Structure 1
């Protein structure tokens, strides 16, 4: 099975460390914490949050700055959530792309059919629970929280995979099932963010900039060198491109595409996704988090390797800038998000997984029981990173957003529920 411990250790320590520091800081001195989050880096009229929105969020201290005639301000929060988190989603998008496009990709063929059905259940279940309970609480609550329906659909791939290995053992077929489900969930989450949570009014014409930059990257730095090298086994042009230019043309044109997303109204954190198909990639993949992929030297994998440490640092700041929620902010959205995750996920995954396995006769992996779907559901209920991100874009900064974020943080309780479910349902660990 895949070796993930080095990645998980760095990922978890920095991300959780940032989140814990934010929680402590916000509950000791909320005023200084929020000033840190909204600290202005650059007043301009190109990128950032609306100057009026920032002035309101920053409070009286905003009047101490001579901003001049500008429309936007680049804050620390915007820099991390809207710009640097694009690197995180780039890595996630790269893995999803390989899982779909490569011949041996994990999301291709019949082997992925049941996990894909279970993924749908793991999304529709939380939505139904979240909105259903919100409706029972009355129209006022429903209207206030309805926009956050996607928050409990998320699954934190890295943490879920780690817990799944601990509950089932590294060699259990349920771990691979969980991994396929998490990858598919990640792909669906990217689509949801793009469609349902735009960062502003949609300006489709700016998407043309992302399309043109992607096509230019593919044509000039990928297709054309290979075309000119036809019949020449030495492949001099392609080799020169790889050795001399490396990933820099793709990074530069990816940045152009990111700016197109900024102006188009689609969330900028997704802005590097269009460039992924244009980058030369290996014709095989060893799997999500596979250590063996460090031996692949195509440009796409090399970009992922070089981005690993910067993304870990970005995730520390993401936790620091997003998890600072005061405990007195706990309210209805907290419990709705949590219920969507720890009730909706297991129920949805069980029902849809069972339907795919038996009425549709798609089956389960050999050695995996129907009851294992329940345990997988609890493991997949760890929303954390992506749930926090969705909460930050679903609601404006304020009590509802803070309460929803607290629900995402509380989803770590699913770790304990996973172990309890594993014991009660008599999961037999398989370490090899």
Structure 2
């Protein structure tokens, strides 16, 4: 058995499921984006736009909110995506690649380099013009598309490459959240912010008191979203704030769970049973339900919620976002050539150069090590995968240029830059193969 297979089998099953879900979600996202582009450039384009501008209103407790269908997707559904992002960030900081300083140094440095250099390139092309408001567009990485491309082009990719790319994208997402909160929010309402603070205090108190029922957190999360929306901060920030309050402690530890479940399985085997397809033995039923309770006790609330949201985000939220926002009418007119050049070059030059250079500097300085089995060509290929901004870049573009002629130009540039970056990444991955090579271990 090769070390690659041993490494894959040593990885927790939820982590393997994460990679599979992200890869499949990337394929679904691509289908949705292509469909949106096709409809936007077809005779049904006008009906397509009318659909997303359909007003939808809700009212509760004397308060009402009216948004278009596209706004509900961008503000409410995307809050679910950012809740997942927040959960991933918290998990990585508590017990993942970002928990130990030496492990975290490489992806953090690479992510920072991959944000600063693209933003600088964009700024150089748009300085002093309205398009400069979109400086954060090329900073983002679409983790679903990036992991999807990695899985499609290099299905036997080294685990170290997958983990590095995931950690890089998570830090990148954290940067995007900070940018959105501080640079793409409206005038603040202090009364609404007081409501945000009050709900956060309740959520933190529940966490400290050991409340593990996720439904209570989610109900308060809806109220938190409303106050954040009314405060002037972008509503998706509520998802990250809620994630930071979800408990990470389990009720029982792994050793207790193993002992308890082994005893329950023995009880299940000893219980009387029949030949029915359903369990008719009360003893077996009680043992089965006890195993279910034990399973819930060993899985911390953060893990359970993250597991539940991965499928929802990958196969519902993100494809709907792509359908609502990726439909751009292809025209030859370019309102600001600097916007297109800054976005495309930021994604295709800034991302790989920034990621690779920052990683080289932090390894060269001795603050971090190159992961086992990963070559510099592999890391550089991951830098190009980081240039697939798509979802997050489109999201920032909608915040920066909503209601202006620059929006469609920015979207077109994002898709062009992401396509180029993905194509070059695929070529590098095929060249490097990213397969296990004995020489890699010998060199470590």
SS at match of 1:74: strand
From the superposition, tell whether residues 309 and 396 of structure 1 become closer, same or farther in structure 2 (CA, over 3 Å). same
Query: Residues 399-424 of structure 1, C-alpha deviation per residue, up to 9 Å, x if partnerless?
Result: 21111111222213322201223456
From the superposition, tell whether residues 316 and 329 of structure 1 become closer, same or farther in structure 2 (CA, over 3 Å). farther
Query: Residues 386-411 of structure 1, C-alpha deviation per residue, up to 9 Å, x if partnerless?
Result: 11111111112332111111122221
Counterpart in 1 of 2:54? 39
Contact 1:107 / 1:184 at 8 angstroms: preserved in 2? no
Counterpart in 1 of 2:407? 401
1:244-255 mapped onto 2 (5 Å cutoff) = 246-255=213-222
Counterpart in 1 of 2:163? 176
From the superposition, tell whether residues 298 and 369 of structure 1 become closer, same or farther in structure 2 (CA, over 3 Å). closer
Counterpart in 1 of 2:292? none
Contact 1:27 / 1:326 at 8 angstroms: preserved in 2? yes
Counterpart in 1 of 2:177? 190
Counterpart in 1 of 2:299? 297
CA distance in structure 2 between the aligned counterparts of 1:171 and 1:6, rounded to whole angstroms? 15
Cα displacement (A) at 1:89: 0.6
1:163 to 2:149 alignment: yes
CA distance in structure 1 between the aligned counterparts of 2:159 and 2:20, rounded to whole angstroms? 21
Counterpart in 2 of 1:344? 350
CA distance in structure 2 between the aligned counterparts of 1:368 and 1:128, rounded to whole angstroms? 28
1:244-323 mapped onto 2 (5 Å cutoff) = 246-282=213-249, 297-311=299-313, 312-323=315-326
Counterpart in 1 of 2:270? none
Contact 2:22 / 2:147 at 8 angstroms: preserved in 1? no
SS at match of 1:271: helix
Counterpart in 2 of 1:57? none
CA distance in structure 2 between the aligned counterparts of 1:20 and 1:381, rounded to whole angstroms? 19
1:208 to 2:194 alignment: yes
SS at match of 1:42: strand
CA distance in structure 1 between the aligned counterparts of 2:139 and 2:378, rounded to whole angstroms? 20
TM-score, normalised by the number of residues in structure 2: 0.76
TM-score, normalised by the number of residues in structure 1: 0.78
CA distance in structure 1 between the aligned counterparts of 2:111 and 2:357, rounded to whole angstroms? 11
From the superposition, tell whether residues 190 and 223 of structure 1 become closer, same or farther in structure 2 (CA, over 3 Å). same
Query: Residues 124-165 of structure 1, C-alpha deviation per residue, up to 9 Å, x if partnerless?
Result: 111121122335xxxxxx512101111100011122123334
Contact 1:215 / 1:278 at 8 angstroms: preserved in 2? no
CA distance in structure 1 between the aligned counterparts of 2:23 and 2:430, rounded to whole angstroms? 25
1:229-240 mapped onto 2 (5 Å cutoff) = none
Contact 1:169 / 1:431 at 8 angstroms: preserved in 2? no
Cα displacement (A) at 1:370: 3.4
| RMSD over aligned Cα atoms | 2.9
1:412 to 2:426 alignment: no
1:354 to 2:357 alignment: no
From the superposition, tell whether residues 119 and 206 of structure 1 become closer, same or farther in structure 2 (CA, over 3 Å). same
Quick check: 367-376 or 143-152, which moved more? Answer: 367-376
Cα displacement (A) at 1:9: 5.2
1:128-147 mapped onto 2 (5 Å cutoff) = 128-135=120-127, 142-147=128-133
SS at match of 2:56: strand
Counterpart in 1 of 2:25? 11
From the superposition, tell whether residues 107 and 134 of structure 1 become closer, same or farther in structure 2 (CA, over 3 Å). farther
* 5+ long unaligned stretches in structure 2: 1-7, 9-14, 253-294, 439-444
CA distance in structure 1 between the aligned counterparts of 2:168 and 2:97, rounded to whole angstroms? 13
CA distance in structure 1 between the aligned counterparts of 2:54 and 2:192, rounded to whole angstroms? 28
Q: How many residues end up aligned between the 2 structures?
A: 373
Counterpart in 2 of 1:108? 100
Whose Rg is larger?
2
From the superposition, tell whether residues 190 and 431 of structure 1 become closer, same or farther in structure 2 (CA, over 3 Å). farther
SS at match of 2:67: strand
Match of 1:150 among 136, 140, 143: 136
Cα displacement (A) at 1:168: 8.3
* 5+ long unaligned stretches in structure 1: 49-72, 136-141, 227-237, 285-292
Quick check: 404-413 or 263-272, which moved more? Answer: 404-413
1:53-132 mapped onto 2 (5 Å cutoff) = 73-100=66-93, 102-132=94-124
Counterpart in 2 of 1:223? 208
CA distance in structure 2 between the aligned counterparts of 1:47 and 1:153, rounded to whole angstroms? 35
